[in-house]
Amino acid sequence: MTIAFWCVLAAAVMPLLFTAIAKFGEGGKGFTNRKPRLFQQNLEGYRARSHWAHLNSLEAFPPFAAAVLIAQFLHAPQGRIDLLAIAFIVLRLVYGALYIADKALLRSAVWALGFFCVVGLFVVAATGGG
């Protein structure tokens, strides 16, 4: 299994990290698994931002996974695929940390870099790495 495929797994699990911070921050005060959506809509501060990072991570996963799979399917250079996939994961972790820390402008810049990694995967796939 390639490094990029492991990165797909990491991207799939990443939303769970952010939702855990949202649910269990401050000792999980008020969390109930009977009505998690109601609980989440009433979060504030860093816990709300962590929930939003969770949602954004869910949104970012499909294009990333598709880009990795397409690049692999078209036999793009494995080193480039792996590098872009690792960069995506690192940037998404930084993105989540910046979201939780309420650093909106920097967070948006890091989001854009992560998006460019996905675009880069498609470009590498389309050009064969050339």
Domain boundaries, the chain: 3-127
Q: Does pLDDT of 25 surpass 80?
A: no
pLDDT value at residue 23: 86
Cα of first residue to Cα of last residue in the chain, in angstroms, is: 24
Residue 27: predicted pLDDT: 61
- Total residue length of the chain: 130
Compute the mean pLDDT over every residue in the chain, rounded to the nearest whole number.
93
**10 Å Cβ neighbour count for 127?**
10
CB 13: neighbour CB atoms within 10 A? 11
pLDDT tens column, 30-60? 777 787 888 888 889 999 999 999 999 999 9
CATH code of 3-127, in short, is 1.20.120.550
Query: Which tokens go with 72?
Result: 């692999």
Q: How far apart are CA 118 and CA 112, in angstroms?
A: 10
pLDDT value at position 38?
82
Q: What is the mean pLDDT of residues 118-129?
A: 93
User: What predicted TM-score, i.e. pTM, was given to this entire model?
Assistant: 0.93
